[in-house]
Amino acid sequence: MYYNSINGDLEKIFFENKDLFDYSDYPKDSPYYDDTNKKVVGKFKCETKGAPILEFVGLRPKMYSLEYKESCDPASAIKEKHRIKGITRAASRALTHAEYKAQLDFPTENYLKNKRLGSKLHQIYAMEVLKITIYF
């Protein structure tokens, strides 16, 4: 399922409810910059620091990917950011935004090697676990 914003200016709509958001990471010359809720627990914060989000894919809770511009300049580079709960960031770097989009059309089980330190009976071990990363 794909969504598009209706009027294209979601920041303006969010800024009207600025008591719910932390705008302290926005550039200081931005009209949306406001540091009244800086570092306040429970306030929503923009992950791209005011840069425009081009595309968002949310597959499950705490499993998402987004493409965004590096800055508001039209010639700026496009960056990717993705998160998966329970997978280390080093292991999740192997995934791309295109794989998240492909998962919407053709859901399959994908396994990712997740290396971590763990203990059994007070002995520390280096563990390599195959985890299912993207499925429905």
Residue 134: Cβ-neighbour burial (10 angstroms; 0-12, 13-18, 19+): buried
For 57-73, how does the pLDDT look when each residue is reduced to its tens digit (9 = 90+)? 988 888 899 999 887 77
| Residue (of 3, 38, 1) closest to 21 by Cα position | 38
Q: What is the pLDDT at residue 32? A: 84
* Predicted structure pTM score: 0.73
**Single-letter residue type at 23:** Y
